[in-house]
């Protein structure tokens, strides 16, 4: 696919699709609640549609209209044995959280996914769930999908010290803990996104957070809710960066989810001297950016979990900053849809960036002009969108993107939304 370029500024307002993490969880909590849950501004992308498909196979009635999703809850006890394998497609969130949800099921089930999912590590989830009494077997017992659940096990509470900072692992433990008698205590390595904790409260449950310690009691009941999903800051991040690095740009993003466990990119933009304004409402707000003279920075430590999904586009941002930007403590990038450390470094280097991969991050030296090249997303939606934003800076040559279809995993209308910011006479 030939990517868009922009010889002059991006101007306009965009409302990005619903938050992917919250969209997944709204289906899950709706299924586990009593009564009906109505979801608006749901992200109708491939990953979230995989979650809907899986819960339908588990016996949950889910209706879809143009404006909303309606989930008729069954509770944990109402989930039914599927008559086929539960295929999550490309969604790591779905398979990992589903392992926690099914930990106490009284039936057997097999979970699998696409070629990317079967290469992603699952032992980090399986190990604590086994401590709690769940019985899971993996392909060749190597910690990869397909994963077979043997049902009929009593789930026990646990006190678990997280070896990695992962919201998906934490959420899987929380879902299992909700099926146990007694209190489960989780000690986080670093603070990660807390959407599961917030939705436990939204659906009528109780959970406590004290610094890095999370406590939850089992056997709680949830009640159906009306959910309005805020815009996904991970999707908004691509337009934020575009507005900062494309000359003569001013971009406004409305209804962006601004949960503090997800807003690390705003802190990085500020540290790099980027022009950003935020108007905050209760759970979402408006973000405005404009072209800026950026400076390099160091990104490391406890901010990493707050921007882990945004690091590919932050790396591009750094190529347009004066000086050196160093990203550290981001080993988690290696086990995403692809090895994002290597993918970012290799593909941006093709376009002229001065970028070096390390064991746990990247070293980016700016400011560098970018040129045309043949690039690939490796089937990773965030790499594909990052490369499209990079293409906006190209003045010589064309950018051809292989596997552009991967963008649909989280943002089906990404290219159309970008076009809205480009007057027709500015498009390639």
Q: What is the pLDDT of residues 6-64, one digit of tens each?
A: 878 999 999 999 999 999 999 999 999 999 999 999 999 999 999 999 999 999 999 99
Q: 121-153, pLDDT tens digit by residue?
A: 899 999 999 999 999 999 767 789 999 999 999
Annotated domain spans of the chain: 11-17+230-426, 20-228
Q: Domain 11-17+230-426: which topology?
A: UDP-n-acetylglucosamine1-carboxyvinyl-transferase; Chain (3.65.10)
In this prediction, residue 140 carries a pLDDT of 65
Q: With 0.95 as the threshold, say if the pTM is over it.
A: no
Q: Per the annotation, where are the binding residues for phosphoenolpyruvate?
A: 20, 92, 120, 168, 340, 382
Does residue 292 come out as left (phi exceeding 0), alpha (psi in the -120 to 50 range) or beta?
beta
Q: Are strands 321-327 and 354-357 parallel, antiparallel or unpaired?
A: unpaired
Q: 346-400: per-residue pLDDT in tens?
A: 999 999 999 999 999 999 999 999 999 999 999 999 999 999 999 999 988 999 9
Q: Can you tell me which residue has the tokens 């740009």?
A: 249
**Domains 11-17+230-426 and 20-228 in one fold:** yes
Which residue in this structure is represented by tokens 């965009």? Answer: 14
Q: At what angle do helices 92-101 and 167-177 cross, to 10 degrees?
A: 20
What is the tens place of the pLDDT at every residue in 316-349? 999 999 999 999 999 999 988 899 999 999 999 9
Residue 247 has pLDDT above 60, yes or no: yes
β-pair partners for 381: none
Stronger pLDDT, 424 or 55, i.e. the higher one: 55
Q: Enumerate the known binding-site residues for 3-phosphoshikimate.
A: 20-21, 25, 166, 168, 309, 336
Q: What is the mean pLDDT of the segment spanning 232-255?
A: 97
Tell me the pLDDT of the chain averaged across its residues.
Answer: 95
pLDDT score at 426: 45
Q: Which positions are annotated as active-site residues?
A: 309
- pLDDT at residue number 428: 43
Report the percent of the chain where pLDDT is more than 90: 93
∠ CA 195-198-199, rounded to 5°: 85
CATH code, 20-228: 3.65.10.10
């Amino acid at each position: 696919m030939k990517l868009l370029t922009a010889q002059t500024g991006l101007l306009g307002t965009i409302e990005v699709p619903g938050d992917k993490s919250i969209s997944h969880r709204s289906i899950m909590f709706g299924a586990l609640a009593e009564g009906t849950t109505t979801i608006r501004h749901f992200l109708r992308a491939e990953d979230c549609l995989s979650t809907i498909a899986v819960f339908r196979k588990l016996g949950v009635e889910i209706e879809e209209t143009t404006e909303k999703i309606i989930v008729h809850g069954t509770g944990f006890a109402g989930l039914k044995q599927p008559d086929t394998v539960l295929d999550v497609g490309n969604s790591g969130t779905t398979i990992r959280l589903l392992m926690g949800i099914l930990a106490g099921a009284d039936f057997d089930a097999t979970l699998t996914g696409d070629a990317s999912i079967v290469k992603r590590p699952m032992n980090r989830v399986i190990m604590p769930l086994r401590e709690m009494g769940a019985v899971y077997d993996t392909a060749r017992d190597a910690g990869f999908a397909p994963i077979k659940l043997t049902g009929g096990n009593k789930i026990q509470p646990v006190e678990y010290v997280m070896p990695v900072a992962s919201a998906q692992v934490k959420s899987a433990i929380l879902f299992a803990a909700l099926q146990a008698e007694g209190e489960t205590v989780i000690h986080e390595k670093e603070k990660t996104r807390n959407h599961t904790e917030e939705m436990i409260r939204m659906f009528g449950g109780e959970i406590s957070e004290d610094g890095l310690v999370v406590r939850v009691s089992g056997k709680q009941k949830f009640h159906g809710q009306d959910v309005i999903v805020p815009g996904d800051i991970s999707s908004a991040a691509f337009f934020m960066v575009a507005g900062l690095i494309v000359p003569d740009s001013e971009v406004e993003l409305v209804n962006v989810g601004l949960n503090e466990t997800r807003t690390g990119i705003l802190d990085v933009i500020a540290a790099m001297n980027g022009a950003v304004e935020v108007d905050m409402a209760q759970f979402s707000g408006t973000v405005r950016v404009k072209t800026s003279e950026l400076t390099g920075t160091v990104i490391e430590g406890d901010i990493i979990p707050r921007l882990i999904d945004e690091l590919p586009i932050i790396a591009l941002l750094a190529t347009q900053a004066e000086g050196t930007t160093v990203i550290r403590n981001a080993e988690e990038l290696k086990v995403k849809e692809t090895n994002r450390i290597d993918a970012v470094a290799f593909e941006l280097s093709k376009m002229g960036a001065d970028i070096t991969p390390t064991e746990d991050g990247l070293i980016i030296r700016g400011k560098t002009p970018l040129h045309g090249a043949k690039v690939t997303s490796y089937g990773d939606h965030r790499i594909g969108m990052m490369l499209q934003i990079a293409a906006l800076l190209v003045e010589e040559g064309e950018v051809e993107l292989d596997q552009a279809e991967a963008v649909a995993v989280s943002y089906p209308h990404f290219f159309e939304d970008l076009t809205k910011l480009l007057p027709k006479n500015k498009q390639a």
